[in-house]
Chains A and B, each alone.
Chain A
Amino acid sequence: MAKEKVLIYKRFERFWHWAQALLISLLALTGFEIKGSYSLLGFESAVSLHNFSAVALMILIVFSIFWHLTTDEWRQYIPTYKNLSAQLKYYTSGIFKGEEHPVKKTVRRKMNPLQVLSYLGLKLVLVPLLVFSGIFYMSYRFTSGGQLMSFTPFTLEDIAFWHVLGAYLLVQFTLIHMYMTTTGHTVTENLRAMLTGYEDLEVEEQEPREELDKNLQTN
């Protein structure tokens, strides 16, 4: 099969990905300073930047949800167990033997089943955990109309517990994510694709979307 340069990550997707990468890095950097792990920007600047990045990220998330819904790209995240164990086997042994990736990457199916599961977990569990605990953290006390208000369904201690737990998990996710980008056909292939949008893919006969979904459901 011939390889062809294909636009796999669209402009918004790349913007979304890198903006998110920047914001999450800032949030982690400032968040762990606020937690007391180290001193870098100073507590006050760390808090301001953390709050600013958090709001920016939440806006970005709203836009990305809108984008996923309107472009039908959300279907990329429909979980499948087909090839899941093959993919696991590839990462734990095949990759060392120079075997081929068990799942072919296509524009309609950019992620392998393991990726789908991880990103689904990220988007449905981990990010909501951080976002909602963060919202509770930010709205624990606030002022409105010259009045001091409190929104305290949970104690600050509990909110911080879940927020910090989520933060550790997200840092771990990011570490593994960054490492996994090196497991393409070349070490930098995936990174380059996320920067330029284009990747050399083996072009298969285009399956109609309905066909693809049917396959997914039967498996």
Chain B
Amino acid sequence: MSATTATSRKARPPVRRGAAGPLFTAPFLLLFLLLYLAPLGYAAYLSLFQQRLIGGNVFVGLDNYVTALKDPLLLHGVGRVALFFVIQVPLMLLLALLFALALDSGLLRLARVIRLGIFVPYAVPSVVAALMWGYLYGPDFGPFAQASRKLDLPAPHFLSDGWMLGSLANIVTWEFVGYNMIILYAALRTIPNDLYEAAAMDGAGPWRIAWSVKLPALRPALLLTLLFSVIGSFQLFNEPSLLMKIAPDVISSSYTANLYAYSLAFTGNQLNYAATVSFLLGLVIVIASYAVLLTANLRRAT
């Protein structure tokens, strides 16, 4: 990409090159500055202060960070989303991969209907998804509970302490398998036919082709889905905050790190500490994302 722009640039008069590029990028970059860098900078600034009863707003250096790193509520919240990430994301991506390969195999009837149907939940707002599943899980008029009552079986406790993380994982999986499947499927469609021809010439069967041709070609797409999943999991908020209304005893206001930051800012009124927690959460996500990228690149290198 940069090679083509470099060669064509020689043919272009230098003056035009100097003025137009900045002009096209300026509106985006200006808003980026105001809406990304400024809030981050402001949060960093706020995180260095504390609101005290006596003395008002006091500069405290890194005190808030020290408190946060020892705060059991925050650590539990981060731990919970880390556990969620480790279990839910591989499961979701594996399902998405299997579905994409099945769609791409050409072995399916009704492939178009199946593809669209699995993707449809992505268009459902997470608020609505959480509400729906919350009612479906419910002990009163949830169909699972109703069916168990009919059969004189104990109703499953989807909203209990032991099940909750799994119930949340189910909602998030339901929402995003189709989205990830489409990314992977779109990437599969762009694999040139020559590769299949060459593999078939060498005597590879469909499984061998999937493993040795399709999977390597999917690497960038898989990395992308993984990256988005890291970012999504660690900021889990909508689903737990809605289920919290149904099961307040199970989901506390610090159930996930993001829920904690929210309740600090808006019910606890601890704005400085909330900024600190937000900042740290962002840092955790950036580090986790880079770790994903780095391990992927290391694997390619070896």
Indicate whether A and B interact.
no
Residues of B within 8 A of A (CB): none
